[in-house]
Every structure is written in C-alpha cells, then in structure tokens.
Chain A
C-alpha cells in the first residue's frame, strides 16, 4: 500500500520542527563547519585534510574535532594515503550513510527556509 501523502508531509514537518527546536543541542550538524564539510564532500566525495583546513578557516585542532564527530557518526572515513608526488596525506571520504544524512539535512534546512523566510530568504545569498 502506498504511504499516505498527508502522513508523509506530517512526518517531514515534525522532522523540520525537531531541527528548529534542536538548534543549540549538540548533534552532527549543529555546527555550520560540519555542514559545510559534508556539503563539499557531497560534491566531490573525497578531499584532504589540508584542503579542508584552508577552506574552513578554523584551527587544526578544531577541524580535527569536527572531523572526529562526523567520523563517530560514521558519516565520513579518514585514512592515510599517497597522492601522487605530494607524499602521505590524510584523505577524508564521505560514506553512503553520511551522504544520506547531509542530503536529508540540506532538504530540511531548505524546507525551513522556505517556510519561515520565504523564497526571498534563499535568493539573498
């Protein structure tokens, strides 16, 4: 039997409500840096620690901590690897679980922005 559209909409609405009311509560996406890292990884699957460090503009320790949180949730995998002649690098890869999680989070963020701020809330960025 296909799911009831009203029921589905209600579930998504509850999830969006939970996201709004959960702001400030520690979670994988409670820090924008982590959302940014995951969004970037959604775009190109893997990157290096050095690249991320230059892009997120936070101290090394802070980036390590944020990556640790994402790894604890099994959203990313970190490994040592060689990249051409550049020598050993820490390579960070998104996992299928992380991909689903960030997609869901971005869609909820988008739904909330549409609901509370209207389409103009997105256009300004």
Chain B
C-alpha cells in the first residue's frame, strides 16, 4: 500500500518534471530558429557588399552566437533533463552524476554538432570555389546524416523531451531545399533570403507552442 503511494508520487513528480523539460526544450528550439532567421538575409547583404570570406565568417559567428543564446534558454540542459526522466522511468540505473555524465553529454553534443555542421562548411567552401557538384554532394551527405540522426532519436529509449514536429521538419527540409535551389545554374543570388521568412515561421510556431507543453497530462 505504502509502495503504491510512493509509486503515485513518482508518477506525479515525473509528470511535473516532464512538463517543464518539454517546455524548455521547445522554447529553446524556438529561440534558435528565430535567431537563425536573421542570418540568411544578413549573409546575402554582406555577400553583396563585402568580400565573401568576411561574409562567411560573420554568418558563422552569428550562428555560433545563436547556438549559445539557445543553449542558455534551455538547449544546454537537454541531456541532464532526459537523464532525470529516464531515471524516474527506470531506464537509467543512477541519477545524473555531474562529474561523470557531463563529459558523456559534452561528447555527445559535440559529436552531434560536428556531424550536422561539417557538411554545411563543405557546402560553403564548394560554393566559394565555384563547384556546384561538390556543393550538391555535401548536401546529399547532410541529408544522409540527418536520416541517421532522426533514426537514432526515434529509438525507444531516446528523447521523450524533444519530439519532431512540423516546424522542425520545415526548418531542416527548407534548409536543404533552398541549398539545392541556390546551386541550380541561373538561380538568383538572393535565393537564400527565402530562408528568413521560413525560419521566422518555424521559430514563432515553436515559441507559440512551448507553453502548451506545460499542460501535458498523464497518458
């Protein structure tokens, strides 16, 4: 009987934590999309006004700033949050150990970042070198890596905090679609500007939906 009471307490605690974790994850993704929306427009303006290498460095710097701001609004704690939830569900043997697990989380985060970022650098360099073929190859590599990432994130024991939604698909697919469109011969130089309204929509949708996560009820 007492064990049942504790079990009920555990389930309720899990629900409260899950609401806050999911809210934070969705909000931070919304912040990331919104901040990134400035970059395509800025990049096109800079590319037309300053030497291309400067424009690339400015856009890459802007992306890193956007990443850090998003981290401070919740993106950085996703591993720790997921770990706490997994523990409550019985999928992890111990609570989060900030000495040991932080390195595991950092390695994982860095691995995901490098895996998703390097084809984009390859794409940019290929465009600067005027090779649309290599740019297309780098984009195909990104699509392949992305498919693996999504496959991994749908494994049963991975992430119940962050779930893929329409806006996330639109963000990634829109990126790839515009990247391919931009290297089609004869494509206007402002093609990447199309990403700005798309990112704004994705960001606003995520930020609008984030508070709804706080209404999560037990399934």
Contacts and interface: CB of A to CB of B under 8 A. Distances in A.
A23 B3 CA distance: 9
B77 A44 contact: yes
A39 interface: yes
B6 A54 contact: no
B90 A55 contact: no
Contacts of A19: 6
24 contacts: A33-B16, A35-B10, A35-B13, A36-B16, A40-B20, A42-B80, A42-B95, A42-B96, A43-B77, A43-B85, A44-B77, A45-B77, A51-B20, A52-B20, A54-B19, A55-B20, A56-B16, A107-B95, A109-B10, A112-B6, A113-B3, A113-B7, A117-B4, A123-B89
B3 A55 contact: no
Contact of A44 (B81, B88, B95): B81
A114 to B, nearest CB: 8
Residue in B2, B74, B77 with the greatest tally of chain A CB atoms within 10 Å: B2
Interface of A is mostly: helix
A61 B138 CA distance: 56
A26 B21 CA distance: 28
Contact of B17 (A43, A107, A109, A123): A43
Contacts of A54: 19, 23, 211, 214
Interface string A79-119: 00000000000000000000000010011011011111101
Contact of A40 (B6, B11, B16, B96): B16
Contacts of B218: 125
Interface string A30-59: 001101110110111101000110111000
A43 B81 contact: yes
Contact of B84 (A33, A39, A107, A109): A39
A13 to B, nearest CB: 14
Interface of A: 19-21, 23, 32-33, 35-37, 39-40, 42-45, 47, 51-52, 54-56, 103, 106-107, 109-110, 112-117, 119, 121-123, 125
- Chain B contact-residue range equals 35 or more
Residue in B8, B74, B90 with the greatest tally of chain A CB atoms within 10 Å: B90
Residue in B12, B13, B15 with the greatest tally of chain A CB atoms within 10 Å: B13
B20 A43 contact: yes
A119 B11 CA distance: 14
A115 B6 CA distance: 12
A52 B21 CA distance: 11
A21 B2 contact: yes
